[in-house]
Structure 1
């Protein structure tokens, strides 16, 4: 059987490994793997294969609608007419909205990671069926983020 657990980089990880070693699990049956952080920044624009859930289109369409109404309204008194000024308002509103979204996303993306916040460590323990429950309890008692038992 295998018991798999996820921990933050902390003293609780060391305490959990020590606790299961004291319970009789050999070091050769314990495997801990620290996960590495993303080596590069996420991309600004989404692709067809992946998206981050943030749309650069939403504010552009909202502002295009608002500027179209304003342009059409004032187009009745301006030279060129309501249709021309409505189209100009739509174009200006859409570009302004996309620009605001891009600047907001860049500002939001530059936020550094929280101090002390690092990636997780995954611990895999090879054990017998009788030892699995004890190991699971030890992991939960030492602040594991998640635990799974695999047959």
Structure 2
């Protein structure tokens, strides 16, 4: 029987392995595998086949709407008319929102890259009676997930 758990690189991983050894499980039956990180940074723009759920379009549309209203309102006073200034406001608002989203996305990606480390998978070979205790040790030490395989 195998008990598999996923951990972050942290002190809790070391504490879990130490707790397993204190339960009487020898080191030869505990196997830890660190996962490799993504070799290249993810793409900024999504394709039609894959999406990360982050939209660079939302803030642009919201600011385009707001700037259209403002441009149209002042367009009654300014030379060129309300329609022209509404279109100018929409374009300017969309570009400002799009640039803000891109800058925010790059900042978030840099922050995530600095803080995010890859996970470690722990595989423990054990008897059927030990599996419950091993699961409890993993949950107590903040495992992301635990699975038991017969």
TM-score above 0.5, yes or no: yes
Query: Contact 1:19/1:138 (CA < 8 Å) preserved in 2?
Result: no
What is the aligned length? 145
Q: Deviations over 1:70-103 (max 9, x none)?
A: 1111212222221111111111111111111111
* C-alpha deviation, 1:45, in angstroms: 1.3
Give the SS at the match of 1:129: coil
Match of 1:12 in 2: 15
List structure 1 runs of 4+ shifted beyond 6 angstroms.
none
Q: Does 1:56 align with 2:59?
A: no
* C-alpha deviation, 1:56, in angstroms: 0.9
Unpaired runs of 5+ residues, structure 2, are none
Q: 1:147 to 1:16 in 2, by over 3 A?
A: farther
Q: Does 1:70 align with 2:73?
A: no
Give the SS at the match of 1:32: strand
- Counterpart CA distance in 2 for 1:74 and 1:26 is 75
Give the SS at the match of 2:55: coil
Unpaired runs of 5+ residues, structure 1, are none
Which residues of 2 match residues 110-125 of structure 1 at below 5 A? 110-111=110-111, 113-114=114-115, 118-125=117-124
- Counterpart CA distance in 2 for 1:85 and 1:133 is 69
